Structure 1
Amino acid sequence: MQFDLLHIGTLVFLCHLLGAIAACHAILHTRTSQGAIAWAVSLVAMPYLTLIPYLFLGRSKFAGYVDARRFGNELLRTRAQPPEWDTQSSHERPAQALGAHLVRSLTRLSGMPFLPGNAVRTLVNGEATFSAILEAIENARSYVIVQFFIVRADALGELIKDTLIAKVAQGVRAYVLYDSIGSFDLPHRYVAAMRAGGVEMHPFATNQRFVNRFQLNFRNHRKIVVVDGECAFVGGHNIGVEYLGGKPPLSPWRDTHIEVRGPAVASIQFVFTEDWYWATQQLPPLEAPPRVPVAAIPAVPARAAAAVAASVPAAARMATLSAAAAPLADDAANDGAPLPVSHALAADAHQTARVAEASHATQATQATQAATEATHATLAAEASPPSPFAAVSAPAPVRSAAAHPNLSTDSGHAGNMHCLVVPSGPADKQETCSLFFVEAISAARERVWITTPYLVPDEAVFSALRLAALRGVDVRILIPSRRDHIVVFEASRLYAYDSVRAGVRVFRYRPGFLHQKVVLIDDEAAAVGSANLDNRSFRLNFEIMVLTVDRGFAAEVEAMLLRDFAESFEIDRSEYRDSPAWRRMAMHVARLFAPIL
């Protein structure tokens, strides 16, 4: 059958007709007015390009999904609410630091209370993060829960898999939850091997009856690890070698996790329980062993044991992965050119062989160093109270009370931090994530520093940023200078320009891709988690943030961010004004899709 102009005209007419019908549907069912306008304009003007994406990204099943998810969460809270919420909640210190109104709104928004008696520390970049996670898993006695947006079957993914299977063989229960879209390329053999090894592993999907790989909305973007109900890890890392710097175009990868010990772990674990219940319709039996008091966590044995390479294979393999990724990151930082995959594999294999060859020659030295380190730590422990995180690498340096008179040593006690866990998602009655950022920005009196890989805020958050700048607050936003998603990057450039015009200071991180999600509020509090400053995190994804009210922790985060700012450059209006006309047009076109970015 040959097509003539009549047939082509008919197809064009039908395409525009379907686009108009879809635009009407978007106006009726899209959650926000900005989203409705963006969809309607694009569907009418460019139906050839937007009809298919609308079928996958549209909101037609939004209401039914939200109702089902919300009912499940409310039912779960009546059955599995952590007892810490009733027995250990305390709002006095957070109210003094941030204001009673903020504490009231955030606790109502999250549905969880502030809990005192926690110890929190930052884990900067992938090596520190996964070393700490692997050490915690290896010391597990009862259960391990693992949840990530992205799980890859690469070297790091294999290391996590082998470690979990080994712990299951020792009688530890392991539960793994991954997002079906974020982990779209996870091979079936990886999941099958996990299940064959006794690990309970399931995908998270918005439709419980099947995994719809073409439904891109409502993804679970959370990154959670909990061991025995005693320690938890939350932040921006996923399971993949790129988070260790193994992806040259974006290396070195800059990201941040936190380790939490104390009552707030129960809140983080409950967030996982909600997601697990939705995915499996079952409650995981998470009876923890007798809890070790936060202030009494041993400072020496775990680190001393980890120093003997032969007895901790996962730690040795983690060091191998990090060492193999380092040359790739250095090469990418030097010339910016991506290395061939064969080069990366060769470097990994070569480094693995070198580490294996050297391990036998250094075991005696490492054992001697471990014994010496244990002796010094024991002597130090006799002179001062043990730190809850002395068993692992030291946190970033913090400001001293002498250098900063406003830093209270009492409130900065490592085992008495107040934490609020803020889970958010499209099933919430309120737009939790967006309102969390609005409240955090509004609470700032002197400064609010935010790091995010994507700067595509909604109108409420952008207004809060502008108002804070008008109040004289030091508002800073740190974003990447390298792009991983072109549309989001171009939209972010335009929002960065608008922010600079409003008095917000915007910086671009030079060395590699910046992926951390951190908010610093004055000298009082800091939040770390999985939420980006974009509409997808605000309204479409399931996220988690942990807000810690403590001057010592805020000082630790400040020191970390100051190091990041030192490796960044501040942008001005010229970034937009000096761009060619086609680039400025691309920015404005990209911003049309802001409601789904």
Structure 2
Amino acid sequence: MKNIVGISLFFLLLIGPWFFLIKEAEGGFVFYSSLILTLFLTIIGFVIFLENRNPIQTITWLVVFGAFPFIGCIFYFLFGHNFRKERIFRKKYFLGKQSFVKISGEAEYNERIKEMGESSQQLITLANRLGNSPVSFTTETRILRNGQETFFNIIEQLKRARHHIHLEYYIVRDDGIGCALKDVLMEKASEGVEIRFLYDAVGSWKLARSYIDDLKRAGVEMVAFGPLQLPFLNNTFNFRNHRKIIVIDGCVGFVGGLNIGDEYLGLDSKFGYWRDTHLIVKGEAVRTLQLIFLQDWYYSTNRSFLTDEYLMTDVSPPSDHGGVQLIAGGPDSEWTVIKSIFFKMITAAEKSVWIASPYFVPDDDILQALKVAALSGLDVRLLVPKNPDKKIVYHASRTYFPEMLASGVRIFQYKEGFMHSKIIIVDDQLASIGTTNMDMRSFHLNFEVNAFLYRTESTQQLVNDFVNDLKVSQEVEMDEFSNRSFRLKVLESTCRLLSPLL
């Protein structure tokens, strides 16, 4: 499939300009250029048809090509060409399946799981089968509720590293906190600590070359995930590594919503206070974070470090920390892993479902699950930003408000700066925190990682934080929301129409 489009585009770029010039001299430029464009769009449309995408996505692409052919072409090569992603990531998929065998047999499903209740047992089993990751009852977690707490703890833990530091981020910036991190990494590298840093090539496209070179000269291995090429020649352009992971000496880990940049400290005047949530992890479950990083590293470099040196973790006796399960999802997975777990959490809820997400563009499954939960009398609440950072996604998300409000979902808009937390809390007992947004890009295209918490102290802290966030939020009322201008409704509907393409 890729070859068909690639050859067609190459042919168009190679002989198209000469063909146009010849025909222009004969007075037939418009006719022949339109003919070539039509043939090319027909080929792309046929490829999309054979990919068996969601029918809504297929129809949306065809409509865009028909209405805006030139813009549609550019948009497709930037965001649309999936070209059999299972073949692209086949190596990564099988590596993940094999890697998690290293720890899957070490965590037995003992009496602690039975104490969790039937719903939790089912969720743990589902997460283990989809994500190949066991639950741990010997892992300590702590919630970090803003940039100050998060980066303070990260810097402190990095300074204590003795053997290795592994970092994996979507966005890395060459600013205040970025330079502070760089200084610590360079210092640790000079002490002989092994440091591997994986950053996403698209998310970090603004990162200065000097930043990367300084770290490399200091001995830090810097690798870009999905290096940028011309979009139409790069199959992986649309599949981004959205994970935020740090592993220190295999025993301390970080995961959550914060990238590396000053805006996450609330230092960007455009956003003001940045409300986000991160998690520090200590103990057995850090091995899962380590495995996720190591398989991403192998995929990007063809170098493997899947040895006991990196996978051994001091495991304490079972404690009262509750259950912790780290799950990776992405286009290399056989299933839509994290979305499926979210769906199970919502449909298994008995009392409440609370969700915080900066970007809310759900697919039909999640949307229906939320509406049915609310119609069943459950306390369903959605917390989103009032002030957007991505306007297309922001306007698209608002088109879902009327049907959700009608079903009984309570929607709150966070007013105190920008809300970037990615949280789900069910029945005050189960929770998810990580990098996954409640949108189709996170569900189907991005590489993500989430921590699922079962009756932990961190779960209760998330409950308390959610309640406090509602105090500085404005609830959306149906009557008031329905009175927004016609122009705004048209804008929102247009953004929603484009959302399946992103």
Normalised by the size of structure 1, how large is the TM-score?
0.75
Alpha-carbon displacement from aligned partner over 1:102-153 (angstroms, at most 9, x marks no partner): 3322211111111211111100110100110111100111111111000111
Aligned to 1:45, which of 58, 67, 77? 67
- Partners of 1:262 and 1:211 in 2: CA distance: 44
The amino acid that maps onto 2:355 is I
Stretches (4+) displaced over 6 A: 1-6, 206-214
- Partners of 1:441 and 1:137 in 2: CA distance: 37
Distance 1:3 1:479, change over 3 A: farther
Aligned to 1:189, which of 210, 230, 237? 210
Q: Does residue 71 in structure 1 map to residue 91 in structure 2?
A: yes
- Partners of 2:444 and 2:227 in 1: CA distance: 14
- Partners of 1:487 and 1:564 in 2: CA distance: 24
Q: Does residue 471 in structure 1 map to residue 376 in structure 2?
A: yes
Contact conserved, 1:89 with 1:115, CA < 8 A, in 2?
Answer: no
Aligned to 1:483, which of 380, 384, 388? 388
Q: Which residue of 2 aligns with 1:152?
A: 173
Q: Which residue of 2 aligns with 1:317?
A: none
Q: What is the aligned-residue identity percentage?
A: 32
Alpha-carbon displacement from aligned partner over 1:49-107 (angstroms, at most 9, x marks no partner): 2111102222353x2x42242333424543x4475432234365445343433332221
Query: 1:238: how far off?
Result: 0.3
Contact conserved, 1:119 with 1:261, CA < 8 A, in 2?
Answer: yes
Contact conserved, 2:198 with 2:224, CA < 8 A, in 1?
Answer: yes
Structural mapping, 1:365-444, within 5 Å: 416-444=321-349
Q: Which residue of 2 aligns with 1:325?
A: none
Structural mapping, 1:502-521, within 5 Å: 502-521=407-426
Contact conserved, 2:287 with 2:313, CA < 8 A, in 1?
Answer: no
Aligned to 2:104, which of 85, 89, 99? 85
Contact conserved, 1:16 with 1:44, CA < 8 A, in 2?
Answer: no
Q: Does residue 57 in structure 1 map to residue 76 in structure 2?
A: no
- Partners of 2:487 and 2:380 in 1: CA distance: 30
Q: Which residue of 2 aligns with 1:527?
A: 432
The amino acid that maps onto 1:85 is S
Distance 1:48 1:575, change over 3 A: farther
Q: Which residue of 1 aligns with 2:46?
A: 24
Long gaps (5+) in structure 1: 296-410
Alpha-carbon displacement from aligned partner over 1:537-565 (angstroms, at most 9, x marks no partner): 00000000110101533211100111111
Select between 448-457 and 281-290 the one with higher mean Cα deviation: 281-290
Q: Which residue of 1 aligns with 2:476?
A: 571
Distance 1:60 1:509, change over 3 A: closer
Contact conserved, 1:90 with 1:116, CA < 8 A, in 2?
Answer: no
Contact conserved, 1:457 with 1:534, CA < 8 A, in 2?
Answer: yes
Instruction: State the SS of the aligned residue for 1:254.
Output: strand
- Partners of 2:68 and 2:111 in 1: CA distance: 55
Q: Does residue 163 in structure 1 map to residue 163 in structure 2?
A: no
Contact conserved, 1:273 with 1:284, CA < 8 A, in 2?
Answer: yes
Instruction: State the SS of the aligned residue for 1:124.
Output: strand
Q: Does residue 453 in structure 1 map to residue 472 in structure 2?
A: no
Aligned to 1:119, which of 140, 153, 156? 140
- Partners of 2:386 and 2:231 in 1: CA distance: 39
Distance 1:453 1:210, change over 3 A: closer
The amino acid that maps onto 1:25 is V
- Partners of 1:575 and 1:66 in 2: CA distance: 46
- Partners of 2:226 and 2:470 in 1: CA distance: 38
Contact conserved, 2:294 with 2:306, CA < 8 A, in 1?
Answer: no
Instruction: State the SS of the aligned residue for 2:293.
Output: helix
Contact conserved, 1:525 with 1:553, CA < 8 A, in 2?
Answer: no
- Partners of 2:207 and 2:272 in 1: CA distance: 22
Query: 1:572: how far off?
Result: 2.3
Distance 1:52 1:527, change over 3 A: same
Query: 1:464: how far off?
Result: 1.0
Instruction: State the SS of the aligned residue for 1:559.
Output: helix
Contact conserved, 2:274 with 2:419, CA < 8 A, in 1?
Answer: yes
Contact conserved, 2:290 with 2:311, CA < 8 A, in 1?
Answer: no
CA RMSD of aligned residues (A): 2.8
- Partners of 2:353 and 2:215 in 1: CA distance: 43
- Partners of 1:290 and 1:68 in 2: CA distance: 31
Distance 1:159 1:82, change over 3 A: farther
Distance 1:575 1:431, change over 3 A: farther
Aligned to 1:555, which of 460, 470, 473? 460
Aligned to 1:263, which of 284, 303, 311? 284
Contact conserved, 2:275 with 2:418, CA < 8 A, in 1?
Answer: yes
Q: Which residue of 2 aligns with 1:224?
A: 245
The amino acid that maps onto 1:537 is S
Q: Which residue of 1 aligns with 2:270?
A: 249
Contact conserved, 1:536 with 1:596, CA < 8 A, in 2?
Answer: no
- Partners of 1:475 and 1:182 in 2: CA distance: 32
Alpha-carbon displacement from aligned partner over 1:237-286 (angstroms, at most 9, x marks no partner): 00110110121111111110001111111011111111101000111377
Q: Does residue 204 in structure 1 map to residue 109 in structure 2?
A: no
Distance 1:454 1:215, change over 3 A: same
Structural mapping, 1:125-140, within 5 Å: 125-140=146-161
Instruction: State the SS of the aligned residue for 1:115.
Output: coil
The amino acid that maps onto 1:229 is G
The amino acid that maps onto 1:220 is N
- Aligned residue pairs total 477
Normalised by the size of structure 2, how large is the TM-score?
0.88
Long gaps (5+) in structure 2: 1-20
Contact conserved, 2:89 with 2:331, CA < 8 A, in 1?
Answer: no
Alpha-carbon displacement from aligned partner over 1:193-220 (angstroms, at most 9, x marks no partner): 1111011110101789999789641100
- Partners of 2:306 and 2:287 in 1: CA distance: 14
The amino acid that maps onto 1:24 is F
Query: 1:8: how far off?
Result: 4.7
Contact conserved, 1:205 with 1:212, CA < 8 A, in 2?
Answer: no
